[in-house]
Chain A
Amino acid sequence: MKNIIKLIFIVIVLLQVTGCGEKWLEKPKSTTILLPEQVWNDKAMIRSLLANLYNRIPHHQANFTGQANMAAYDEGIATGSQESGVDISNNNITSYAYNRWTLWDYSYIRDLNLAIEGLNELSTKLTAAEKEQFTSEFRFLRAWDYFEMVKRMGGVPLITSQLIYDFNGDPSYLRNPRAKEEDVYDFIANELDEIKNTIGNEDSQDRANKYAVLALKCRAMLYAGSIAKYNALMPVPITLPGKEVGITASRSDEYYQKALDAAREIIQSGKYSLYKANSDPGVNFYELFVKKQNNPEMILRRDFNILGNKKHNYSYWMICRTMREDNLSSSAVNPPLNLVEAFEYLDGTPGVLQGVGDGTVAGQANWIFYNKPQDIFANKDGRLYGTVVYAGTTLKGVDVNIQAGVYEWSPSLNRYVRYESSVFGSLHTDGKLLTGLGGPMRNVDEVSNTGFYVRKFIDPATLSSARGVGTDIPWPYFRYGEVLLNAAEAAFELGFIPEALTYINQVRERAGFPPNSLDASTLTFNRIVNERRVELCYEDHRVWDLARWRLAHTLWNGQSSNPNAVMYALYPYRIVHPGSPNDGKYVFDKFVAPKFVAPRYYREGNYYSQISQTVLDNNPLIVKNPFH
């Protein structure tokens, strides 16, 4: 015991002696801590900081994060895949929480302000042009982040320089009130106008250039214009007395005009065009998102690189069950029938599928007997194939094998009797397929519950859906197709119908429609709504679009009697009826997806998200949003 104490004593003394010997605090150059002067005078370090800042742009729905939000609206339901974080609770959202979209991103804003000020005050070794370019990029990201905040929260405090506490005992001078919603949009427009010619990066798709700046401006101004117009058209517009939310209705045309001007500048530059490398419209639309090289449509994207170990697991989570390459996951998000029917027929008629039963005996009278399962989807918008995996198609060269079961004729009952199985690839008593390798199944995890899978963004490369390999499909932030639709909508709202038609018809022609498929009599507001739904599905637009049009609370009103709020499945069955011409044909039943529980419910209080209690406690100048 004594020895031990002695030993400890000696060690402590020794540590103190040697510790004092070196001058820790006066070490000349640290290799782990960099001083501002060092960072702002080294281009390589600024670029690496910039990479960090690009990575911190907030995402709600993306291929590398937030897949659960693809299953939370009317683009998908969750199937209960264990690994993906796409929780089955997405099917049971009784009502969207008021803080679901809350974003109060001031640590990011601070870092951007710090970068802008640091670069301008401390940088001596960079040329003026280099400084201007970096500053423009920081300001672009800051404007973008303010757009992400204003579309969720309404007006937020506009902080454009570092807030530094002077330790005088009273920090209340650092409190800033919320700006008006329209002031934030005006700030974004002004910032982007000022930097568009100095941002450089002329031919980059991974760092913002002039056209990315214009694309952001176009999107933001379109949001402002539609909020100004459609909020005022509500029976009771959503406003606050200080106009922190709600935009003056009379300014809508001004914002639409700015959106159109920004879009025109991109279009007239001729620098970008729609991706049309493949002559098959469906395959072409799929390739648009998975072809990285020579893709003329991408204005700004977030790229990944397998070899550089910068990758994500979208394919692992989303891949169709039939061709999954891992022993877990797949099928995390299933597109509902609602989405599939939103894709029009190529003759311009609404996309409702024909000859579908409802799972009951009476419903069998409605059946059309199709020769092949894919026949029910014939003559549809090519983007359906590019977005959704449906029965009778292939993915990665393999037949998706989607079949729910069989209907066998019963002479004694004088009707067809349904057989389903929860065994993948099981055979019926006639020795042919009962339930496919790709389901769908009513109550099994990690297989489609709606009869559909996602194709958009799925990597065609071998083993890309295995965890150890991963995928490097980029995420499109801004692409030319969206710019055309933005331009079409802005022109339509301003009454420039012929101009709107040229833009929207280009997008539709690429999808397989004949030239000039819409004319002045058929172009309506609802057509634009639907066009954006099918073109921009899973690209983080749907929920924001419905919010700015003030459609969300009527479309998703939480009522089980509302077919827009309830997500449906479509199950294919093979007919077993020896001796009949229908034998071996296929029929379809439509019903509420078995795993879908609560109708989508978006309340008026969701249009502007809840500001957290901590923020309200710290700053009494912040006013709450309506209904909270």
Chain B
Amino acid sequence: MKSMKNIILTTAILTSLFIITGCEYDNYKAPESLLTGTVVYNGTAVGVRSGGCRLELWQYGYPLRQKIDIYIAQDGTFSARLFDGNYKLVRLSGAPWPANNTDSISVTVKGNTSVEVPVVPYFITKNETIIHDAGVITATCTIEKLGTLNIQSLQLLVGRTALVDVNNNVQSTTVTTGLTDLSTPKTITVTLNDAMKARDYIFARIAVRTSGVTERYYSPVFKINLK
């Protein structure tokens, strides 16, 4: 009976030893460095659909080559919590700009790091104004063509929250004609319905869709006070 007790005691001591030592070895520290950045054209942030466009982040030197997907926020910014190290940032297609798979961007992450990712969208908008008059939202902008593809449509999207895109909107207007001559400013309107008119403020945004490309280029979001 005495030896039995000893065995139990020994087992208990051994087990607790294992647990204590085990904890020290099988855990990595969580990544602490923050990589932040913006997708820009000519120094101006490029607006996209929330959750719609990605960048890929790769790190050399590890046997398991799985990329890190980084989703771009609607104002063109992105961020990722990473370990320090050297990374490659890849611009993918499925975005309002052409893919650039051959030319990745080297990023050295050491502590909190900031990076600008230059892209050339198919189209951009300039000099955007969005105003409200008597229940009608009117947007004006100049469209500039930067690629070879054709324009498919110009849209004005109106929503209740600051998150506005083709998925998140309450009312929208789509124009597909009169877009051949891009030298003149374009105007597009949305007539607010009663529910929207009753609000204190709304958010609006212009989107340009390129023919054959799903993701649109978006202007910055405008907050419009109705009262």
Contact = CB atoms under 8 A, between A and B. Distances in A.
Contacts of A560: 169-170
B65 A626 contact: no
Contact of B214 (A237, A553, A559): A553
Contacts of B51: 94-95
B94 A605 contact: yes
Contacts of A561: 171-172
Nearest to B150: A235
B153 to A, nearest CB: 11
A94 B152 CA distance: 22
A234 B152 CA distance: 12
Given A234-B212, A604-B214, A613 B169 contact: no
B214 A627 contact: yes
Nearest to B64: A617
A182 B149 CA distance: 26
B6 A1 contact: yes
A251 interface: no
Contact of A617 (B52, B65, B150): B65
Contacts, number: 56
A605 B99 CA distance: 13
Q: Secondary structure of the B side of the interface?
A: loop
A561 B214 CA distance: 17
Interface string A577-602: 00000000000000000000011010
Contact of A235 (B92, B152, B169, B170): B152
B142 interface: no
B166 A628 contact: no
Q: Secondary structure of the A side of the interface?
A: loop
A234 B212 CA distance: 8
A628 B172 contact: no
A98 B94 contact: yes
Interface in A87-111: 94-95, 98
Contacts of B3: 1
B44 to A, nearest CB: 24
A604 B169 contact: no
A258 to B, nearest CB: 29
A236 B149 contact: yes
Contact of A603 (B65, B211, B214): B214
Interface in B146-175: 149-150, 152, 166-167, 169-172
Interface residues of A, number: 27
A558 interface: yes
**Size band of the interface chain B makes with A:** 20 to 34
B66 interface: yes
Contacts of B171: 561
B149 to A, nearest CB: 7
B210 to A, nearest CB: 8
A603 B166 CA distance: 12
B214 A599 contact: no
Nearest to A234: B212
B68 to A, nearest CB: 11
B7 interface: yes
Contacts of A599: 167
B64 to A, nearest CB: 9
B32 to A, nearest CB: 26
Contacts of B213: 236, 604
A560 B152 CA distance: 19
B168 to A, nearest CB: 9
Given A561-B172, A613-B67, A617-B65, A601 B167 contact: yes
B59 interface: no
B93 interface: yes
B94 A627 contact: yes
Contacts of B65: 613, 617
A613 B51 CA distance: 20
The interface centre, meaning the residue of A238, A598, A601 with most chain B CB atoms within 10 A of its CB, is A601
A8 to B, nearest CB: 13
Interface of B: 3, 6-7, 51-52, 65-67, 92-94, 149-150, 152, 166-167, 169-172, 211-215
Closest 8 CB pairs of A and B: A236-B212, A603-B214, A627-B94, A235-B211, A1-B3, A604-B214, A605-B94, A627-B93
22 contacts: A1-B3, A1-B7, A95-B167, A235-B150, A235-B211, A235-B212, A236-B212, A553-B214, A557-B166, A559-B169, A559-B172, A561-B171, A601-B167, A603-B215, A604-B213, A605-B93, A605-B94, A613-B67, A626-B93, A627-B94, A628-B92, A628-B94
Interface of A: 1, 4, 94-95, 98, 234-238, 553, 557-561, 598-599, 601, 603-605, 613, 617, 626-628
Given A235-B152, A559-B166, A605-B94, 15 more contacts: A236-B149, A236-B212, A236-B213, A237-B212, A557-B166, A558-B166, A559-B167, A561-B171, A603-B215, A613-B65, A613-B67, A627-B93, A627-B214, A628-B92, A628-B94
